[in-house]
Structure formats: structure tokens, C-alpha cells
Structure 1
Amino acid sequence: MKEKILEKATDMFLNLGFKSVTMDDLANEMGISKKTIYSHFKNKTHLIEESTTQLFCTVSEGIDHICSLGKNPIEELYSIKKFALMHLKDEKSSPQYQLQKYYPKIHESIKEQQYEKMQECVVVNIKRGIELEIYRENLNIDFVSRIYFSGVTSIKDQRLFPISKFPIATLMDEYLEYHLRGIVTPKGRKILNTIINSNHE
């Protein structure tokens, strides 16, 4: 039962937002009593902690799987972006923003884990790109990986990028292209243009 509650809660949080969903909403949606939920989770904050941790693990495992496929580094970043969007439901309800505003401790904890995961993944991606001569060889890898993470985090800030003006899927596409155009070689640019053109078809 705990797994079912967690699964349904995560789905509702992502679709409606962490603040918007109440324990009553969750109980009604599942056709169970609040008492049943509280027998597994001591309060809503505890439920959100478990939910965000599980979601982070699911996304991390998916990213690890994509990285193990040996795709070229540019294609790899597009696959990761597509996978993350699919799991985060396009973030229509801006759950990230609600998490940051109403549950800042949980948000900070997840952000630290995301940073470690992305650093490791992006550094390997950049090194492989340089070896394959599709990224410039004079890149400061540490700087590029950190600025990339900083950008990915910033575009989720609705004060900077309101969803009414910048739909999340378009924003992620534009940010990824912006990042890659700054680091690719002419050889890499050809691969990038091919991927962008095929995405527009």
C-alpha cells in the first residue's frame, strides 16, 4: 500500500503542484482514508520527502541507462532531456517552484543531489565529446559543467522564465542548443544541426 500511495502522490504532485495537493485530495483520489496514509507517512512533508527522493532515483537510473548506451555525446544530452521531460510531466504545474517556495529544505537537499549527479554525468559527456573532436579541445571542463548545471537550474525559476511566456519543453530545447553551440567544433555542429532539424520535422 505504501508504494501505491507514493506512486499516486508523486503523480498528483507533478501534475498539480506540491502545495496544491492536500492529504484529503490524495485520500479521495485513492478511495482510502487519511488514516491509512498517515499509517505510512507521518505527515505531508514526510510524504513529499519520500516522493522527491523516489523521483530523483528513478530519473538518475534512467540517466545512467542512457549514458551506458554509448551514444555520441550530443545525442546523449538530447536523450536525457527527453527522458527528464517525460518523467517530470512537462512541469505544467511548476512543482519545482512550489517545492522551492513552500518546502525549501527538501528543495535544497534534492538540488544538492541533482548537482552531484549532473556534474558526474556532464563531465564525462564533455570529456567524451572532446575525445571524439565534436567539442572544442580548449574547454575548461569544470567551468562548462558548472555553468550548464547553473543554467538548467535557472530556467526552472518562474520569476525569470514565466511558463506563460516560456513553455518548459521549448525552454529546455533552446537552452540545450545554446549550451551546445558554445562548445561544439564544426564537426559537432553538423551533428547538432541534424538532430535539431530531425526534431523539427
Structure 2
Amino acid sequence: MKEKILEKSNELFLNLGFKSVTMDEIANALGVSKKTIYKYFSNKTALIAAVTDNMFETICCSIDTVCEEKMNPIDELYHIKRIIMSHLKDEKSSPFYQLQKYYPKIYASLTQKQFHVMQETVQDNLQRGIDSGLFRTEIDIEFISRIYFSGMIGIKDQQLFPVIKYSMNTLLNNYLEYHIRGISTEKGVQELEQQLKNNNL
């Protein structure tokens, strides 16, 4: 039952937002009483913490699977982007903006975990890009990996990128192109152009 609660809550939170969804709505969607949910989660905050942890672990496992393939680093970035989109369903309700605003402790904890995981993944990607001649040899891997993470957090800022104007898919595509063009060799740019062409087919 706990897994069913997490799964349904995750779906509702992503579609409607962390603040917007009530415990009553979750219970109704599951066809159970609120008492059943409270048997596993003491309150809504505890449920949100569990849902975001579960989502984080699921996405990390999917990303690890992609990274294990050691594919072309530019292909890898686009594969990871597709994984994120498939899990976050384009964030039409801007759930993470609500998370940041109404549950800042959970948001801060999640962001810290994301940073530690992404640092390692992005630095490995950058090094393999340099080794394969796709990325310039003189780039500062430590600096670029931090800038990349900062940008990924930044494009979720609703004040800067309102959801009515920018979909998450558009933001991720634009940011990836911006990131890759900034660090690529001529060979890397050609690979990027091919990737962009494939994405538009």
C-alpha cells in the first residue's frame, strides 16, 4: 500500500503541484481513507519528503543506467534530458516552484542531493568529452560542472522563466544547446548539430 500511495501522490503532485493537492484528494484518488495514508505518513510534509526522495532515487537509477553505457558525451546529455522529461512530465504545474516556496527545507535537501550526484556525472561527461575531442581541452571541469548545475536550477525559476511562456522541454533543450556550444570543439559542434537535427525530425 505504501508504494501505491507514493506512486499516486507523485502523479498528483507533478500534475497539480505540491501545495495544491490535498490529502483528501490523494485518498479519493486511491479509493482509501485518509487514515490509511496517515498509517504510513504522519502528515503531508512527510509524504512530500518521501515522494521527492523516491522520485530522486528513481531518476538517479535511470541516469546511472545511461552513464554505464559510456556513449558519446553529447548523446548522453540528451538521453539524460529525455529521462528527466519522462519522469517530470513537463512540470506543467511548476511543482518544484511550489516545493521551493512552501516546503523550503525539503527543496534545500533535494537540491543538495542533486548537486552531489550531478557533480560526479557532469564531471565524468566533461572529461570524456575532452578525451574524445568533442569538448575543448582548456575548459575548467570543476567550474563548468558547477555552472551547469546552477543553470539547471536557474531555468526552474518561475520569476525568470514563467511556465506560460516556457515549457520545461523548451528550457532544457535551449539550455543544453547553450551549454554544449560553450564548451565544444568544431567536432563537438558538428555532433551537436546532428543531435539537434535528429530531435527535430
The alignment's TM-score, normalised by the length of structure 1, stands at 0.99
Give the match for residue 87 of structure 2. 87
The CA distance in 2 between the partners of 1:167 and 1:9, in whole Å, is 22
2:91 maps to 1:70? no
Q: Which runs of 4+ in 1 moved over 6 A?
A: none
Give the match for residue 31 of structure 1. 31
Give the match for residue 155 of structure 2. 155
The CA distance in 2 between the partners of 1:34 and 1:166, in whole Å, is 36
- Residues 86-165 of structure 1 mapped to structure 2, 5 A cutoff: 86-165=86-165
Give the match for residue 182 of structure 1. 182
The CA distance in 1 between the partners of 2:150 and 2:111, in whole Å, is 11
Using the TM superposition, give the Cα deviation of residue 107 of structure 1 relative to its aligned residue in structure 2, in angstroms. Answer: 0.1
Describe the superposition over 1:166-187 as per-residue Cα deviations: whole angstroms up to 9, x where unpaired.
1110111000000000001001
The CA distance in 1 between the partners of 2:34 and 2:187, in whole Å, is 58
Letter of the aligned partner of 2:199 in structure 1? N
Give the match for residue 40 of structure 1. 40
Letter of the aligned partner of 2:152 in structure 1? V
The CA distance in 2 between the partners of 1:92 and 1:19, in whole Å, is 14
Letter of the aligned partner of 2:36 in structure 1? T
The CA distance in 2 between the partners of 1:10 and 1:22, in whole Å, is 13
The alignment's TM-score, normalised by the length of structure 2, stands at 0.99
- Residues 46-57 of structure 1 mapped to structure 2, 5 A cutoff: 46-57=46-57
Using the TM superposition, give the Cα deviation of residue 150 of structure 1 relative to its aligned residue in structure 2, in angstroms. Answer: 0.3
Give the match for residue 169 of structure 1. 169
The CA distance in 2 between the partners of 1:145 and 1:122, in whole Å, is 6
Aligned-residue identity in percent: 55
Describe the superposition over 1:117-162 as per-residue Cα deviations: whole angstroms up to 9, x where unpaired.
1000000000000000110000011110000000000000000100
The CA distance in 2 between the partners of 1:120 and 1:195, in whole Å, is 24
| Count of residues in correspondence between the two structures | 201
